[in-house]
Amino acid sequence: KAGVTQTPRYLIKTRGQQVTLSCSPISGHRSVSWYQQTPGQGLQFLFEYFSETQRNKGNFPGRFSGRQFSNSRSEMNVSTLELGDSALYLCASSLVGTGVDTQYFGPGTRLTVL
């Protein structure tokens, strides 16, 4: 069974630009969560989608947004990039995201903002 895939794997942008990251979950998984990982703040939850609906959102500014498609694939968008947005962005998928099923993580997208 194929794992969680994320594209692109690496991205370099400049301040003020916007970026879209993509995540394809494991086949059959309907919940997709997004996390930001930085050396200073560690792993922080961004948002979670289930059946095309955002069910939960972390404490991030509105510049961070996401969506989920009918095939469970998800995208996240960051507008007006800031230097502090440089991070590893991880998505994770699970069957239904209820907490009793494991979240499986993708390889991540490393975003560098110059």
In whole angstroms, the minimum distance from the beta carbon of 80 to another protein comes to: 25
Instruction: Give the dihedral of Cα atoms 90, 93, 99, 102; nearest 10 deg.
Output: -90
Residues in region 12-41 near another protein by CB under 8 A: 31-33, 35
- Which range, of 17-25, 61-69, 79-87, 91-99, touches another protein by CB under 8 A? 91-99
**Residue 15 burial by CB count (10 A; 0-12/13-18/19+): exposed, middle or buried?**
exposed
Residues forming beta bridges with residue 6, ordered by sequence position: 23
- 106 touching another protein, by CB under 8 A: yes
- Residues found near another protein in the complex (CB under 8 A): 31-33, 35, 42-45, 48, 50, 55-56, 58, 90, 92, 94, 97-100, 102-108
